[in-house]
Amino acid sequence: MELLRVRGQGYRLGAPIDWLDSTEIRRHLGQQAETYELRVVDIVESTNTMLLEDSVGGAASGVVLAAELQTRGRGRRGRVWHSGLGGALTFSVLWRFEQGAGFLAGLGLAVGVGLVRAVRSLGLEDIMLKWPNDLVIRHRKVAGTLVEIHGDVLGPSLAVVGVGMNFRLHAATRERVDQAVTDLVTEGAPHDRNRLLGEVLLQLARVVETFRASGFGPLRSEWESYHVYAGRRVVVRLPDGTLEEGTAAGVGEDGALLLQTRSGLRRFHSGEVSLRALGVGERRRGASGF
């Protein structure tokens, strides 16, 4: 949140805050409104953490927890996500499945498909995916996801999917992030977080319905069409610090990255693996995540 000092009048907000409103979000959801139970809170350490705790207490599938401000937002590989009040859209969704935890391997990529559909419906056709969990516009990060899965091998299982989207980044927030970023408003999206969340939840309901019935397979080719590194030379950094170079050759039905190397086709799962375009990744390290 940016405060401006007005001579003789005190202080005012640098930009008005577009507060989240459950009624407005439901209006944008239309017939899908009954799919979700919406909870909007002012401040929370982490929406994922809170929703995981609620899941232990029996929270139903379809609960959405959205926060105006997160103080300890978490990302993949232990990263911290930075946001200011009203400058981001941060929320988590709980889904329960009859299948076992292994079935959910490609869920994060399915969620990415839903997010791209939602953002493109608002007019931002340049939005792309970067394996495994980032959304970018012209290689500048605009959103990311964190999927946390719990359950038995044979089922049932549950997933809490956290989503962080840069809506309107304040200058102070940009300075805290050590990678190239942008936000949706800057790129031309409507100044309406309620409409954005409604559209995102609408598209997520559709992809999760497909995923629940048939897994990631039916969404695989669409995901590959959005991949910013499709067919490009890339480098994968492994947990031990070693690098593997090759050509991004799509993804498997379990969401694994397929890399065509000199020694053949290799598969990588997200875990502690990071992906960069060849010649770019080693110049910028320690980027913050969602």
Identify the CATH number of the domain in which residue 58 sits: 3.30.930.10
Domain boundary among 211, 226, 241: 226
Helix H, strand E, coil C: the string for 222-250 is HHHHHECCCCCEEEEECCCCCEEEEEEEE
219 occurs within a structural domain: yes
22-29 helix and 193-214 helix, angle to the nearest 10 degrees: 50
Residue 116: inside a domain, yes or no?
Answer: yes
Are 97 and 53 in the same domain?
A: yes
> Is position 290 within any domain?
no
Instruction: Indicate the pTM of the whole model.
Output: 0.88
Q: Consecutive 10-residue runs of the chain (290 residues): their mean pLDDT? A: 48 65 96 96 95 96 96 64 74 98 97 98 97 96 96 96 93 72 96 97 98 98 98 94 96 96 95 80 34
**Residue 139 in tokens:** 């290689």
Residues 132-190: tens digit of each pLDDT:
999 999 999 999 999 999 999 999 999 999 999 999 987 766 767 768 999 999 999 99
pLDDT at 288: 31
Q: How many CB atoms lie within 10 A of CB 96?
A: 17
- 106 with 181, same domain: the answer is yes
Q: Which residues are catalytic?
A: 76, 141, 276
Cα separations (Å) of 175 from 129, 135, 208, 270? 24, 20, 35, 28
Q: Specify whether 51 is located in the same domain as 159.
A: yes
